[in-house]
Amino acid sequence: MPALSPIQIALLITGVLLATLILGGLLAVLMAWLTREVQMAYGQAPATPAKAPAPAVEAAVAPPAPSQRIGPWPFVISGLAFLVVLAVIFYPMPQPQAAAPETSSEGSAAPSTPASPPVVAALQGNPEKGKELFLGSCASCHGADAKGLPGLGKDLTTSTFVKQQTDVQLLEFIKKGRPATDPANTTGVDMPPKGGNPALTDQDLADIIAYMRTFNPHQP
């Protein structure tokens, strides 16, 4: 049931009271009529006075008719009707439950929206710009010719890892980096995220990858 303001509640209660009073009045009239009909049916109606035999004889005065007693039943019925109306109006209605999320065959909740593709899929790298960014951010470990430096970065021109990674995977790898504690790290040297240059954007990384593909193309 929707929430009602105090004014609406007051108007509602007033209307219910008026309806109950009207119903009680109708029931009172009906019970009086039924009582009179029952009394007449059983010979309790007031007798009509007979004609006087002579003007000198005083007409017999008929006894007054018994008073009609209505009894408490109309008020009892009205009170019960009032309680029924209040119960119907203020009884809390069950609220519809929200539909449960669909689950997959494994029992886990299905995602509400499909996963959006990585941003790099819509980026087109510029090899020339990527070479400048590579020299400024990556050459300190991998060398200006990308053939690596002793004790630092590996040779990227012959790297199998670079060759097998897609552009999307390679971009995510560069953004994340690889610490020295990673079991897959074979150099024992940290590779910082974005080559230690957090100012690089996804487009900058896409340009660097495009430059790397000029000497180490992707081969799944």
Residue 174's Cβ-count burial label (10 Å; 0-12, 13-18, 19+) is: buried
Mind listing the pLDDT tens digit of every residue in the chain (220 residues)?
Answer: 556 678 877 777 887 777 777 877 777 777 777 777 777 777 654 555 555 555 544 444 555 555 555 556 666 676 677 767 666 666 555 555 655 555 544 454 445 554 544 444 557 889 999 999 999 889 888 999 988 888 888 899 998 999 998 999 999 999 988 888 888 888 888 889 988 888 999 999 999 999 999 998 888 7
- Domain 123-212, CATH among 3.30.70.3170, 1.10.760.10, 3.20.20.60, 3.40.50.2000: 1.10.760.10
At 193 the pLDDT is: 92
Supply the pLDDT for residue 57: 46
Domain with CATH 1.10.760.10 in the chain: 123-212
**Looking at residue 63, what is its pLDDT?**
55
Do 138 and 155 meet the contact criterion of CB atoms below 8 Å apart?
Answer: no
The span from the CA of 49 to the CA of 216, in Å, is 131
Please report the pLDDT score of residue 168 as a whole number: 92
- Whole-number Å distance between alpha carbons of 167 and 208: 10
For the chain, what's the residue count?
220
